[in-house]
């Protein structure tokens, strides 16, 4: 079973999307905090 399935099931794709969004939000908050800090 490959780690990256070319055709993932709907639940797996949804989970990857949620993880991607969470990671993106964390990066954005980090960048904003870095810019806002004096």
Residue 32 φ/ψ, nearest 5 degrees: -60, -40
Predicted model pTM: 0.59
Residue 33: what pLDDT?
94
pLDDT on residue 24: 97
| Integer Cα distance of 15 and 25 in angstroms | 15
**DSSP, res 3:** S
pLDDT at 8: 59
pLDDT at 1: 47
Residue with more model confidence, 38 or 2: 38
Condensed to tens digits (0 to 9), the pLDDT of residues 4-35 reads 666 656 667 788 888 999 999 999 999 999 99
């Amino acid at each position: 079973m490959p780690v990256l399935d070319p055709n993932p099931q709907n639940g797996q794709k949804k989970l990857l999307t949620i993880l991607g969004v969470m990671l993106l939000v964390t990066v954005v908050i980090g960048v904003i905090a870095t810019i806002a800090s004096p």
